[in-house]
Amino acid sequence: MALTIDTGLQQVAETAFGDRRGALVALEPSTGAVLAMVSEPGFDPNLFVDGIDPQSWDALNNSPDHPLNNRAIAGLYPPGSTLKPYLALAALELGKRTPKSTIVDPGYFMFGGRRFRDDKPGGHGVVDMYKALVASCDTYFYMPANDLGLENIAHFVGQFGFGAKTGIDIEGEATGVLPSPQWKRRHFKKPGQQKWYPGETISIGIGQGYNAYTPIQMALAVATLAENGVEAGAGDRHQVGMGHPGAVEAVGGLAVLVGPDLLQRRCVDLRVAARGDECRHAADGAGAQGHLNVRAGGALQREPHPFEIDGGGRAVHRGLSFRPLPATLASSSG
């Protein structure tokens, strides 16, 4: 068994919690290695070595602190303002805002006859995207949430792992809740409760409402952001970009990953460099094989990974998923 825990960091984290409830997950962004994980209050695992006695088992099960619940991977919490950077990216990527788009924040946003308040009475004045992120201006993010709509928000932030298990090799990981109209129809039984109301989208924009994610999901999302969109899955999971199919364009020995919504090209500039001519041969059809070096921002992010083209023209390897572009598109793509 190989552990990635940094014992010094783990001790610092546990000491910092003291007697408080909560969870902490620290990841190495480039690899996804778990450096520290805390769930408090915890319990003494030595109680289970020779079989736990009934009194101790009863105490653990009936404790109001729920020490058997691993909050780091199973606790579900609203992300709050930590979701705002992802909403900002969605607004940029989908053309709803520019970095210089400004509003005058009076301290609230009116929608459907309801006043959605900012946390600062009187508002933040003139706010652009940079100031909105620095000051965590609620009013600013209410507006792009409304303009984007729930479907776009759910699709975009879902690419960062929200509402999906990370795949860490620890039992009991929760999926979380990535709100969408489909989720609401599945979750509620009464027709009146199944309907998604536009006003509910406003709160989604500041990480409230039905949003509910685990600390490890949040850590992985932040790690992906820190790595310019290259997701290093928790545990031993290797993925490129957001883990979604993309297109490989073989030009002069360089393969450029083009995400389905251009996220990788425009926001991440993720590039996959092939060894020799293998990538160009791989685009020829089924059975072709090669090795890929994954690079982001010019820095090597992964060791070479073998792949092969299946009968559907897809190059697949342990989470890497590429589709060669048709010749007509390849010649016109820059």
Q: Among 118, 71, 20, 13, which residue's Cα sits nearest to residue 218?
A: 71
Question: Looking at 30, 56, 81, 332, which residue is catalytic?
Answer: 81
Q: What's the CA gap between 318 and 305, in Å, rounded?
A: 9
Does 81 participate in catalysis according to the annotation? yes
CB 174 within 8 A of CB 163: no
User: Left if phi > 0, otherwise alpha if psi is -120 to 50, otherwise beta: which for 30?
Assistant: alpha
For residue 64, give the 3-state DSSP assignment: coil
* Residue showing tokens 């009146």: 192
Pairing of strands 246-251, 320-324: parallel
The terminus-to-terminus CA distance of the chain in angstroms comes to: 45
Q: Among 246, 208, 243, 209, which residue's Cα sits nearest to residue 227?
A: 243
Q: What's the CA gap between 280 and 275, in Å, rounded?
A: 10
20-47 in b/e form (b: 16+ CB < 10 A) is eeebbbbbebebbbbbbbbbbeebeeee
**C-beta atoms surrounding 74 within 10 Å:** 20
Q: What's the CA gap between 283 and 247, in Å, rounded?
A: 11
Catalytic residues: 81
